[in-house]
Amino acid sequence: MSGLNGPVAGVLGWPVTHSRSPLVHGHWLRRYGLRGAYVALPTRPESLETAFRGLQALGFVGGNVTIPHKEAALALADAATPRARRIGAANMLLVRDGGIEADNSDGFGFIENLRAAAPGWRADAGPALVLGAGGAARAVVASLLDAGCGELRLVNRTRARAEALAEALGGPIRVLDWGEAAAAAGGAATLVNCTSLGMAGAAPFDLPLDDAAPGALATDIVYAPLRTPFIVAAERRGLATVDGLGMLLHQARPGFAAWFGAEPEVDEALRAAALAA
Q: Which residues bind ligand NAP (CB under 6 A)?
A: 106, 109, 132-137, 156-158, 161, 194-197, 199, 203, 221-223, 244, 247-248, 251
Nearest CB to ligand NAP, comparing residues 14 and 95? 14
Q: 110-134 in b/e burial notation, b at 16+ Cβ within 10 A?
A: bbbbbbebeeebebebbbbbbbbbe
Of the candidates 27, 70, 86, 153, the residue annotated as catalytic is 70
Shortest distance, position 238 Cβ to ligand NAP, whole Å? 24
Shortest distance, position 99 Cβ to ligand NAP, whole Å? 26
Nearest CB to ligand NAP, comparing residues 95 and 221? 221
Question: CA-CA distance, 110 to 155, in Å (whole number)?
Answer: 18
Nearest CB to ligand NAP, comparing residues 190 and 251? 251
Nearest CB to ligand NAP, comparing residues 34 and 38? 38
Say if residue 221 carries a ligand binding annotation: yes
Shortest distance, position 255 Cβ to ligand NAP, whole Å? 13
- 253 noted as active-site residue: no
Distances (CA, A) of 161 to 11, 87, 139, 193: 28, 14, 14, 16
Shortest distance, position 196 Cβ to ligand NAP, whole Å? 4
Question: CA-CA distance, 42 to 26, in Å (whole number)?
Answer: 17
Say if residue 66 carries a ligand binding annotation: yes
Of 10, 156, 155, the C-alpha closest to 73 is 10
Nearest CB to ligand NAP, comparing residues 33 and 201? 201
Say if residue 31 carries a ligand binding annotation: no
Shortest distance, position 124 Cβ to ligand NAP, whole Å? 23
Say if residue 276 carries a ligand binding annotation: no
Say if residue 132 carries a ligand binding annotation: yes
Say if residue 159 carries a ligand binding annotation: yes
Binding site for NADP(+): what residues are annotated?
A: 132-136, 156-161, 221, 244
| Active site residue ranges | 70
Binding site: what residues are annotated?
A: 19-21, 66, 91, 106, 132-136, 156-161, 221, 223, 244, 251
